[in-house]
Structure 1
Amino acid sequence: MSRKFTGFGTRARRPQRPTGLYAATVASLTAAALGLGVLAGTPAGARPATDPAPVVTRAALDPALVAGRGAKVAFAEQEAENAVTDGTVIGPDRTAYTLPAEASGRKAVRLTPGEHVEFTLPAAANAVTVRYSIPDAPGGGGITAPLDVAVNGTKRAGMTLTSQYSWLYNQYPFSNDPGAGLLHPDWWITECSCVPAATTPAPVIEKPFRPSHFYDEQRLLLGRTYRAGDTVRLTVPAGSRAAWTVVDLLDSELVGRPHIELLAANVLAFGADPTGRRDAAGAIEKAIAFARRTQLKVYIPPGTYRVDRHIVVDDVTITGAGNWYTKIKGREVALDEPAADGSTHTGVGFYGKDAADGGSRNVHLSGFAIEGDVRSRIDTDQVNGIGGAMSDSTIEGLHISHTKVGMWFDGPMRNLRISGNIIVDQIADAINFHTGVTDSRVTQTFVRNSGDDGLAMWSEKIANARNTFDHNTVQSPVLANGIAIYGGTDTTVSDNLVADPVREGSALHIGSRFGAEPFAGRLNLDDNTTVRAGTYELNWNIGLGALWIFALDKSIDAADIRVTGDHYLDSTYNAIMLVSDWAVKDQYDIEGVHFKDIRVDGTGTSVLSARAAGGASFENVDARNVGAVGVNNCGSFNFPATGSEFSLTDVGGNDGGWLAPWLLPNTITCDDRPAVVPPPAPGAW
C-alpha cells in the first residue's frame, strides 16, 4: 500500500544477519546473489525435446488443485521451467532479493546470447505475453535488449525487452540508484544488527543493497492464429546487450476482433491521434463533454493515444476496442511546483473527482489498456492508473501496467464494481480501497508483480464497509501481501488464489495497523487458496504465515472472523500465524477467530503459530506434511504457570494429528525460531 513505512518493531533478541542474499555490483550482479546458478552444471533442458507436450498451470500449480478459485482468465499459463530449453533452470529458491524468489513458482530459465526456450501451444492462440528479466544498467535506469520470437521455426517478430521499469534497491521507498547510500541511516538495519547512526565506525553495507523488483512483461500479437501443438521459440540473439535474459513464463491467448462502437462519440472525430505522436488528452476530454451532452458513450478505437496527465471522469461511459487494441499511454511528467495533494509528478490516469468535491458517479470504463511510465516510488504522487472517488460505477476489461498503483480509491464512495481486469508490473499496490469505501467489489481480476499489496482495503480514519474481494488471482507481490485487509466492517474475501509473496508479507493478511479503524461485524475468508506463501520478516527474524493476523495498533477482538474452506498449500513457514508486536504484546490480543473446513498441505514449520494473547477455535482442519510441530504456541512470551496466553478450542474433526489433545487448551509449545523443513509439492487431497 502507498504509505510511510513504520516498521514492525524489534523483538527481545536482535536478528542475525542473513547470508548469501546480496550482490557486489549491479553491472555484474553475481549468479549466486540472484540465484542464477542454482542448477549450474546440470542438464539445462527442463524437458527433453522428444516430449513436446505442453504443461499448462495456474500459479505454477496443476489447475486441478485450484479448480473454481482465482480469476477466470483468457490465457493459458506455461512456466518456462516446463518448456524445452538449452538454457539453465534457476531455482527453486524463496530467498528474497533473488531472481528465482520473484519468479512464478520460484523457478525460471536463464538464457545467454544464442540460447532459447520453446513452448508448445496448448490451444489456438494469436497473442503471447512474456514475463522476463534482464540486467540493470551499471548506474541504474535500465537497458534494452532484443528477444526473437519464432513460431514453428519461422521468425515472426522481435521484442525489445527493457529493465527500465524494474530493478529497485535499498530501503523503503526504494531507489533506482544501485550505488546509493542508506536512505534512512537511523533505521534498524538487520543485515548488520545495528542502527548505523549509533555505530562508530558506520557499518559497511554491500551495494547494491537489497535489489528487488526484477521482472517485467510484454504482450505481442502474432499477426495470425496458430493451432494447438505449434511451437513458440524465444531466442536471445547473438550480440545481445544483455549478458543474460531470464524467461519466467509465457501466456498464450486467442484474442478476438476489435470491439466497434458505432453510435458513440468517437475520439478521432475530436482530433485524437491514434499513432501516439501527439497528445490526445484534450481530444478525449472534448469527446467526454460531447458525450455527456448527448447521452452517448465515448469510443476510443484501436490505436495508441498519448495522455500525460489525469483525465477527470464523471457521469460518462468510455469504452475501447479491447485492451489489446486500444492503448492509453503516457509519460511521467514533473510538475513545476508540488500540487496541493503533495504530488510532484503527474501521468496518465482516469480519475474521479475528489470525495471532498462530491466525488464522481455513473462512470463506466472498459476495453482499453493504460500504460504508465512510473519508474520510482514517491508515495505523495498521484500517478495511478485509476484514482479519485467513483460511486455507482464499473471498471472492467482493462489492462494496467507501469503505474504507481493500478487503482487507488479515496472515499467516501460506494457501489463500485471492478471485474475482469489485468494489473501487472506496479510500483506499489494493484488495487486499494482507501477510506470509507462501501458496498463495493473486486472480482475476476488478475494481478501479477505488484510492488506492494496486490489487493487491499485500508480503513484509515473512516471505516470501509460491506466490501468483497472474490475470485481474483494475485501472483508474486514483491513487497507485502497478496490480499490485505486493514480494519473495516463486514468484509468478505472469497475464492481467491494467491501465490508467491516475496518479502515482508503473506498471501492473506488481516492487520490492525497503519492507523486503521477497528475490525467490526463479520470478516469472512472463504474458500481461498494460497501457495508457496509466507515470507521471511527481517526485523523479527522469523517466517510469517500464509495467513497472517497482526494486532499492532489495537486488539483484534470486536469482529467475528470466520475462516472457512481455505486451502494453504506448500507454505514456506506456517500456514496460520496470529501475532502482536513485541512492544505491545501485553496490551493487544486477538480473539474471535474461527477456522473450519481448512486443508493444510505442506508447511515449513507449523500449521499454527500463535504469538499473541487471545484464542481461536478449530473445526475440521486437516493437515499433512507438517515440517515441525503442529502448533507453535508462544502466547505473549510471558510463559505463566497457568499456560499460554493464547487458547485453542478444538471443536472437532481436526485430522492429521497436528492438534493433539495434549496441546489443549493452552499448553505452551514455544519454539521462537523453529528449523524449516521444506515440504513436498502439494497433491490431490
Structure 2
Amino acid sequence: MPAIGAVVALAAGMLVAVAPAAHAAAGATLPFTSVEAESASTTGTKIGPDYTQGTLASEASGRQAVRLTSGQRVEFTVPRASNAVNVAYSVPDGQSGSLDVYVNGTRLAKTLPVTSKYSYIDTGWIPGAKTHHFFDNARLLLGQNVQAGDRIAFEPTGTQVTVDVADFEQVDAAASQPAGSVSVVSKGADPSGNGDSTQAFRDAIAAAQGKVVWIPPGDYRITSSLSGVQNVTLQGAGSWYSVVHTSRFIDQSSSSGAVHLKDFAVIGEVTGRVDSSPDNFVNGSLGPGSSVSGMWIQHMKVGLWLMGDNDNLVVENNRILDTTADGLNLNGTAKGVRVRNNFLRDQGDDALAMWSLYSPDTDSSFENNTISQPNLANGIAIYGGTDIAVKNNLISDTNALGSGIAISNQKFLDPFHPLSGTITVDGNTLVRTGAMNPNWNHPMGALRVDSYDSAINATVDITNTTITDSPYSAFEFVSGGGQGYPVRNVDVTGATVKNTGTVVVQAEAQGAAAFRDVTATQVGAAGIYDCPYPANSGSFTLSDGGGNSGWSSTWPDCSTWPQPGQGNPDPDPNRNLAKGRPATATGSQDVYTPGKAVDGDAGSYWESANNAFPQSWTTDLGSSYAVRRLVLKLPPSPAWGARTQTITVLGSTDGSNYSTVVGSQGYRFDPATGNTATVALPDGTGLRHLRLTVSANSGWPAGQFSEVEAYLTP
C-alpha cells in the first residue's frame, strides 16, 4: 500500500437533510434547495450511476447526470420560491458555450455561460491521480421571481453540456452601506471590473481600522494579494452582488486579528493546481478572534489555507466551490477554530482538513457542514491533532483516493503531531462515500481510521453515524503506509449502515475497536473483512458491546478482495457486472480504448485496430458469476448507421483458458432500435473473464462497442 444519525431524502432528487429523533440534523442549513438533473424531465441522455475513477458520472452528485446536445433540454420543477439558480455542469475539454434558460416555456434574454476552462485538472505528481475535476458551477439571477411548481429549463448552445444538479434560491435584495463605513469606491475602486482596484482596497483598509470597509454591488478586479489586514471588517452587499475577481485575496503570515470577512464573493481564475503558489482566498493568518461568513468562494486553488495564529476563528455560512485543491485546511497551530454550516462542492482534494504540521491543531471542530463531490481525496480529513471534533456533517460522493471521513496519522511532512487526546466523530451522515484506491488496488471505506505513519493512540469515539450506499465498506481500519502500525482505542457506538457494497468492517491493521448498537442491512458481501496488512503483522480485535445486528459473517479468503454484491443476497441483482471493471483488447484505435466499453457512457466507445480481424475485447468481472445475458451497445447517435458485427462469446475462470460460450454469429446494431444487441447465455455459465471476439463488421473495418453489459438475470 504505497502512499497515496441523519438520512438523505433522494427519491425526489433533492438534497435534504432529515433529522432523526433526539439528534441534530446532519449538514448545513442552506439558503437553497438542490434538485438532481436525473430526477428532472429531459430529452437528453441520463448517464450513470458509475463509481469508476476518471469517468464523468463518477464525479456527479448522486453519480448520475444528464447529457444535453443541441436541441435537447432538461426541465426542473422549481421546489421553492426563487429568483436565482446555480447549475453544476460539465462540457467537453477545450469547449465553451452557454445554456439558454426558459421559465415556464419562455426564454430569458439572459444566458448562462459554460466553459471547460476550470475543469480537467491533471496532478501527475499525486500517485493514483487521473484527470479529474470535470464539473464546474455557474450562477444566474433570473431577474424575476418564480414559485414552487414553476418550470425552469436549460438548453445548450455551442457545445454539449452535461447538467448535474441545480440549486434554487431566493436571494435577498442587496444590503445597504453601514453607517460610518469606508467604501472602496470612495478610494477609487472600479465597480465595472475594468480598472485595477487593488490600491483602492488597500487604502480603504488603512482608513477603516476598527471599522467597516464597504464593498458596494459591482465587480472589482484585484491584481495582487492584500496583506497587513487586521482589526477591520470587509463587508459586501451580499455574495450575489459584491464580487471581487482575484486568485489571491489575502496572503499574510501573521495578523493581530479581529479580521471579519462577510457577505461578498471572491471568484478566481485558477485553472490548474500549483501547490507552491498561494492561489487561495486566504493564505496564512487572519489572526485571533476573526471570522469568515456569508462568502461565495470559487475557482481558487484552496479556499482557506490557514497557518499561524488563527485562534478562535469562526468560518460559517459560506459556499466554497470548484477549488483545485482543498476547500479549507487548518495547517497546524489552530486553536479553538469552529468551521460550521458551510457548503462545499467539487473540491480537488480534501474538502475540509486539519493537518497538524509544525504544531498540533487543538480543540477545533468541523460541525454541520454539507460536502458534495470531492473528486481527489476525502470529504473531511483529520491528519493528527489534539482533542478534535467532527460533528453532524453530511458528506456525499467522494471519488478517488478518499473516504467520507478520514481520521489519520498520515504526516506528509515533518514535524508532524499525531492524533492525541480525544477525537470525537459524532452524528455524521455519509452517502455514497469511499472509493477504489488504485495505489492499493482495493478500496477505502466510507469512514477510515488510518495509522498511516504511526500508531493511533488517541481515543477515537465514533457515535451516531449513518452510512448509506457506500460503494465498498462502511468502516475501515488500516495502516495505509504499509508499516503495520496499530489502530487502538476506537469505540463505535450507534451506527446505521444500509446497502454497503462489500463489508461493514474492513480491518487491515493490528489493534482493536469496540462496536455497539451498529445495525446493517443489505450488506454486499460479508459483515467483516479481517485481513491484516502486511500479512502476519498482527490481528485486529472487534469487541461486541451488544446491540449489533446484520453483519456477523466474515469474508473467508484474504487472498481476494470481495467485489460489490458478491455475497448473498446481491444488494442489486439487476446490476451490470461489467461496468467499471478492467478491460483489455488485442488492439485499439487512437483514443477509443477498451475501458470506453465499460465506463457507463454509451456515447464513448472502444474501436479495435482497423483492417485486422479478428479482434478481441476482454474484461475481468472480478469474480466468477453465472452470467445469463449480455447487452452490447454502439453510440445511440443516428450518425452511426446500421451494421452487423460477427461476434463469438468466450469465457474463462482463470484468465488463461477460454472456452466458447456462444458461437460465432451476426448481431444487428440499428440506431432505429437503440443500436443495441442482446446475447442470451446458456444457463449455468460460470465465468469471471468475458471475451468478445469480433471477426467481421459490415459498417466499419474494426470491432466496436460503446458498452458491454453483463447481467445475472435472463
TM-score for the superposition, normalised by structure 1: 0.78
* 1:67 shift after superposition: 7.8
Amino acid at match of 1:659: S
Tell me which moved more, 309-318 or 462-471: 309-318
Report the CA distance shift for 1:432/1:679 in structure 2 as closer, same or farther (over 3 A).
farther
Conservation of the 8 A alpha-carbon contact between 1:131 and 1:248: yes
Deviations 1:569-592 (A, max 9, x none): 11111101111146412xx11100
Deviations 1:249-274 (A, max 9, x none): 11110000111123111111111110
Amino acid at match of 1:647: T
Structure-1 separation of matches of 2:148 and 2:20: 21
2:182 to 265, 270, 273: 265
User: Which residue does 1:31 correspond to in 2?
Assistant: none
Report the CA distance shift for 1:269/1:540 in structure 2 as closer, same or farther (over 3 A).
same
Conservation of the 8 A alpha-carbon contact between 2:433 and 2:446: yes
Deviations 1:59-103 (A, max 9, x none): 7x8898998110111111000000011001000001011110010
1:539 and 2:439 matched? yes
Point out the structure with max Rg over C-alpha.
2
Conservation of the 8 A alpha-carbon contact between 2:217 and 2:242: yes
1:134 and 2:50 matched? no
* 1:56 shift after superposition: 5.0
* 1:679 shift after superposition: 4.0
Amino acid at match of 1:254: Q
User: Which residue does 1:247 correspond to in 2?
Assistant: 163
2:102 to 150, 154, 162: 150
User: Which residue does 1:674 correspond to in 2?
Assistant: 562
* 1:610 shift after superposition: 0.6
Long gaps (5+) in structure 2: 5-10, 574-714
Report the CA distance shift for 1:125/1:517 in structure 2 as closer, same or farther (over 3 A).
same
**Relative to total residues, which structure has the larger strand share, 1 or 2?**
2
Long gaps (5+) in structure 1: 1-5, 10-53, 138-142, 174-186, 191-208, 331-346
* 1:211 shift after superposition: 2.7
Provide the secondary structure at the position in 2 that maps to 1:283: helix
* 1:229 shift after superposition: 1.5
Report the CA distance shift for 1:428/1:466 in structure 2 as closer, same or farther (over 3 A).
same
Amino acid at match of 1:534: G
Provide the secondary structure at the position in 1 that maps to 2:3: coil
1:172 and 2:125 matched? yes
Flag the structure with more relative contact order, 1 or 2, with Cα contacts below 8 A and sequence separation at least 6.
1
Runs of 4+ in 1 over 2 A off after TM superposition: 61-67, 635-640, 667-672, 678-681
Structure-2 separation of matches of 1:360 and 1:170: 36
* 1:412 shift after superposition: 3.8
* 1:360 shift after superposition: 3.5
Provide the secondary structure at the position in 2 that maps to 1:72: coil
Amino acid at match of 1:479: L
Report the CA distance shift for 1:671/1:470 in structure 2 as closer, same or farther (over 3 A).
farther
* 1:680 shift after superposition: 5.7
User: Which residue does 2:469 correspond to in 1?
Assistant: 570
1:463 to 352, 360, 379: 360
Report the CA distance shift for 1:58/1:64 in structure 2 as closer, same or farther (over 3 A).
farther
Deviations 1:382-417 (A, max 9, x none): 110112112210100000000100111012431100
Conservation of the 8 A alpha-carbon contact between 1:104 and 1:476: yes
User: Which residue does 2:376 correspond to in 1?
Assistant: 479
Q: Percent identical across equivalent pairs?
A: 39
Provide the secondary structure at the position in 1 that maps to 2:190: coil
User: Which residue does 2:454 correspond to in 1?
Assistant: 554
Report the CA distance shift for 1:537/1:612 in structure 2 as closer, same or farther (over 3 A).
same
Deviations 1:222-259 (A, max 9, x none): 0111111111110123xx2x2x2100011110000111
Aligned residues: 556
Provide the secondary structure at the position in 2 that maps to 1:228: coil
Deviations 1:17-58 (A, max 9, x none): xxxxxxxxxxxxxxxxxxxxxxxxxxxxxxxxxxxxx93511
Report the CA distance shift for 1:310/1:634 in structure 2 as closer, same or farther (over 3 A).
same
Conservation of the 8 A alpha-carbon contact between 1:635 and 1:668: no
1:8 and 2:10 matched? no
Structure-2 separation of matches of 1:639 and 1:289: 64
User: Which residue does 1:337 correspond to in 2?
Assistant: none
Conservation of the 8 A alpha-carbon contact between 2:24 and 2:392: no
Conservation of the 8 A alpha-carbon contact between 2:453 and 2:479: no
1:277 and 2:194 matched? yes
User: Which residue does 2:524 correspond to in 1?
Assistant: 627
Task: List aligned pairs for 1:231-630, cutoff 5 A.
Answer: 231-237=151-157, 240=158, 242=159, 244-263=160-179, 264-292=181-209, 295-312=210-227, 313-330=229-246, 347-351=247-251, 353-355=252-254, 359-390=255-286, 391-513=288-410, 514-515=412-413, 516-557=416-457, 559-581=458-480, 583-585=482-484, 588-630=485-527
1:214 to 134, 142, 146: 134
Conservation of the 8 A alpha-carbon contact between 2:430 and 2:468: yes
Report the CA distance shift for 1:548/1:282 in structure 2 as closer, same or farther (over 3 A).
same
Report the CA distance shift for 1:581/1:266 in structure 2 as closer, same or farther (over 3 A).
closer
TM-score for the superposition, normalised by structure 2: 0.75
Report the CA distance shift for 1:593/1:672 in structure 2 as closer, same or farther (over 3 A).
farther
